[in-house]
Amino acid sequence: MDSITGYRYYSIHQYEVLGTIRELKEIGLSLEEIRSFLDERNLEKSLSIMEKHQNKLQQKIQQLIRIESSLKQKTMYLKRIATEGATPRPSVRYIEERHFLTTHMEVSNDIELNYAAIKMEDLLERHVPFVAGSFLGLLFDAKKQMIENAIPSSTLIAQTAFLNDYPASQLIRVPAGYFVCLRHFGQVWDRKGSIGELKAYIEENQLSIDGQSIQMVEVDVSVTDRLDESLFEIQVPVLFQ
């Protein structure tokens, strides 16, 4: 130490050690790991530690990319909802191919739905936080409901773009095509009125139903705690006759 200025002198070796400590902290090593790293360093030991934390950083980067992608998609989606509002009448919309994650659990009431949602959340949280995650929906037979005038059982689904994260047995592919869509406010199972409107529109325009329908959750408790803002959209795949 300089007796006049009070400044402490550091050797080149000490500067190198301090720089190394800063770098190790930046890549995420704990104080205990840094102590271990600095103790009896050698090329093999340093390389092993570097590779281990490089892999950890790569995993974290991939996780952050998934979160950012999901948040971006959800933000754009909510902006569109806020701008468009509820669709007063059914309309035909072309929707690109989608993939959904499912546990294949059929639900027909709130208790079963809550249990299925917990199972789905467990799957999604392995890769991305639930709130930032894939969009939830129900897969159901709208044609059957139109004929029988009763609410059929549904399957909980969650849209995902990360197909490699899940086994093929848990993924459902919905091909691109035209869907008659109708937004409505209300509870999950409160879709009889909307199904009636969709049926009338499909018959009036001489369309035919082509596969399972989807009831997407557009605004739910993850976004608002106001029941009057809860919003769903029913999407019925159709063919032009």
Query: Which residue, among 60, 59, 48, has the nearest Cα to 36 in the 3D structure?
Result: 48
Cβ(124)–Cβ(143) below 8 Å = no
150 — pLDDT class (breaks 50, 70, 90): confident
Predicted confidence at residue 2, as pLDDT, reads 45
Report the share of the chain in percent with pLDDT over 70.
81
Of 20-29, 106-115, 121-130, 157-166, where does the model show the most confidence?
106-115
Predicted confidence at residue 180, as pLDDT, reads 96
pTM (two decimals): 0.68
Predicted confidence at residue 222, as pLDDT, reads 60
Of 49-63, 172-186, 213-227, where does the model show the most confidence?
172-186
Predicted confidence at residue 11, as pLDDT, reads 52
Which tokens belong to 129?
């936080």
**Residues 104, 116: Cα–Cα separation, whole Å:** 9
**Residues 241, 238: Cα–Cα separation, whole Å:** 9
Give me the mean pLDDT over the 113-141 stretch.
Answer: 74
- Higher-confidence residue of 31 and 143: namely 143
125 — pLDDT class (breaks 50, 70, 90): low
Average pLDDT of the chain is 80
Cβ(160)–Cβ(70) below 8 Å = no
Q: ∠ CA 137-138-140 to the nearest 5 degrees?
A: 150
Of 3-12, 63-72, 76-85, where does the model show the most confidence?
63-72
pLDDT of 115 strictly over 80: yes
pLDDT of 81 strictly over 90: no
Give me the mean pLDDT over the 136-154 stretch.
Answer: 89
Cβ(219)–Cβ(230) below 8 Å = yes
Identify the burial level of 7 via C-beta atoms within 10 angstroms of its C-beta, where 0-12 means exposed, 13-18 middle and 19 or more buried: exposed
Query: Which residue, among 76, 139, 58, has the nearest Cα to 104 in the 3D structure?
Result: 139
**Residues 235, 123: Cα–Cα separation, whole Å:** 25
Predicted confidence at residue 133, as pLDDT, reads 43
pLDDT of 134 strictly over 50: no
Which tokens belong to 210?
């082509």
> What is residue 147's three-state secondary structure?
helix
Give me the mean pLDDT over the 167-181 stretch.
Answer: 94
CA distances from 115 to 40, 49, 118 (A): 53, 42, 5
